[in-house]
Amino acid sequence: MSTSARFDRGHTDDLMSFLAASPSPYHAVANAAERLEKAGFRQVLETDAWDGSAGGRFVLRGGAIIAWFVPEGAPPHTPFRIVGAHTDSPNLRVKPLPDTGSYGWRQIAVEIYGGTLLNTWLDRDLGLAGRLTLRDGSHRLVNIDRALLRVPQLAVHLDRSVNTDGLKLDRQRHMQPIWGLGEPEEGDLIRFVAEEAGVAAEDITGWDLMPHAIEPPAYLGRDRELVAGPRMDNLLSVHAGTAALAAVATGSGGSAGAGTPGAAGAPGDGSSGTASLPYIPVLAAFDHEENGSQSDTGADGPLLGTVLERSVLARSGTYEDRARAFAGTVCLSSDTGHAVHPNYAERHDPTHQPRANGGPILKVNVNMRYATDGSGRGVFAAACEKAGVPWQSFVSNNSMPCGTTIGPITAARHGIQTVDIGVAILSMHSARELCGADDPYLLANALVAFLEG
């Protein structure tokens, strides 16, 4: 019998809806904010003065969101419990002068963002989404979720060695999508996007646009034990963290193993069942992790530290209170990791081979590519035990380079204990990734237990 039969699929169904509705980091944070507002959170502006009253708040900046919940009567030195994640995924991004083409084909000029698997973008029907900046400084989200673009692969007849010598793609010459016939015309794409967004083209002064695969997420396999979909790295963690924070803030977390975190429950201020929280629960979802996190919305920027410090000061705290709060703070940096691949098992460590639907993974690297140490392992194990959630360990094969996350950056920049965790997936950095259908739910429940302390 499939292990997936044990669980209500409500959380995973909701994840699939979240993935489909979030083709860009800007859409992801807007959708997370909408869910938090339904749980009683309210947006605060960085340019406004903040008060120290109890309740949930969030800050939006570009493709990043920081949300936190202050329990009633929480003193200024109350430590934080942070779920860290990132909103960006490797993909293609539209260049400043996008209109190009040759030989009767109209094309869109794109850059390669992050370490994407280039071949997975070939021969897919692609939409276009992102953010428009208008002349008055405001922004407008746009999502053209239909077959608009395509990066065509060269036919095998014109590349007879492709199946023997492998596919070789030049990032500049071979990855420019087509979107029509005729000669390129300057301003054509932005005029089209403006019409789709319902704004005047002359009012658009900037854009952050990116193609996305329009095929929706889907259950996969005989017993529907798997989920295939885009941007699981790392919107899977953003979704789980949002659901967990909403559940804790509304007092609906209950037994962490029961129900779907944050999927139900009336909006409220969280005053019932939250006064005894020993920590201030936080969601920190950053942009630009896939290219190093060095931006004003990335984990290597000051955003998280500024928000946490302002929360302390808004409750009449001092520098001493801030230092005490940070000293007791723990962050779970939640990002996807590698499930053992049945066709490439030799690429994995022989004694650490995470399985799909085996529960969230604890990521360890002694060279601090991940921030986990033995003490952090204890924090994560305690949360999983409280939630009744199984968990696994991940370590890279010694002969393979190890990736990294926002975990070490968060630990070093803010001086707070950080633990790297996530969900094991296949096809990481593909335009379409694969995970176990139960693992998102298991992760969310572990996060609820962690945030509750």
Decide: helix, strand or coil at residue 438: coil
Q: Which two tokens stand for residue 233?
A: 């790295």
155 or 5: which leads in pLDDT:
155
Query: Where does the pLDDT of residue 205 fall: very low under 50, low under 70, confident under 90, or very high at 90 and above?
Result: very high
Q: Which two tokens stand for residue 108?
A: 């869109």
User: Which pLDDT does position 256 carry in this prediction?
Assistant: 35
Instruction: Inform me whether the pLDDT recorded for 264 exceeds 80.
Output: no
Instruction: Inform me whether the pLDDT recorded for 209 exceeds 90.
Output: yes
- The rounded percent of the chain whose pLDDT value lies above 70 is 93
The β-bridge partners of 141 are 131
Calpha distance 250→264 (Å, rounded): 10
Q: Which two tokens stand for residue 408?
A: 């070490």
pLDDT digits (tens, 9 = 90+) for 383-416: 999 999 999 999 999 999 999 999 999 999 999 9
Closest CA to 358 of 388, 382, 329, 391: 391
Give the least confident one: 64-68, 116-120, 263-267. 263-267
Contacts for 285 with CB less than 8 Å, ≥ 6 apart: 28, 29, 32, 64, 65, 66, 84, 85, 86, 87, 238, 241, 242
Instruction: Please report, for residues 39, 82, 285, 383, the alpha-carbon distance to residue 32 in angstroms, rounded to integers and kept in the order given.
Output: 11, 16, 10, 23
Q: Is there a cis peptide before residue 357, judged by omega within 30 degrees of 0?
A: no
Instruction: Inform me whether the pLDDT recorded for 6 exceeds 90.
Output: no
250-263: average pLDDT: 52
pTM of the model: 0.94
pLDDT digits (tens, 9 = 90+) for 279-322: 999 999 999 999 999 999 999 999 999 999 999 999 999 999 99
pLDDT digits (tens, 9 = 90+) for 85-106: 999 999 999 999 999 999 999 9
The β-bridge partners of 242 are none
Q: What are residue 293's phi and psi, to 5 degrees?
A: 70, 10
Q: How far is CA 415 from the centre of its chain?
A: 23
Instruction: Please report, for residues 104, 162, 340, 406, 449, the alpha-carbon distance to residue 337 in angstroms, rounded to integers and kept in the order given.
Output: 43, 30, 10, 13, 21
Instruction: Inform me whether the pLDDT recorded for 167 exceeds 50.
Output: yes
pLDDT digits (tens, 9 = 90+) for 360-391: 999 999 999 999 999 999 999 999 999 999 99
Query: Where does the pLDDT of residue 276 fall: very low under 50, low under 70, confident under 90, or very high at 90 and above?
Result: confident
> What DSSP string describes 387-404?
HT---EEE-B-TTS----
Calpha distance 325→20 (Å, rounded): 37
Calpha distance 331→451 (Å, rounded): 10
- The rounded percent of the chain whose pLDDT value lies above 90 is 92
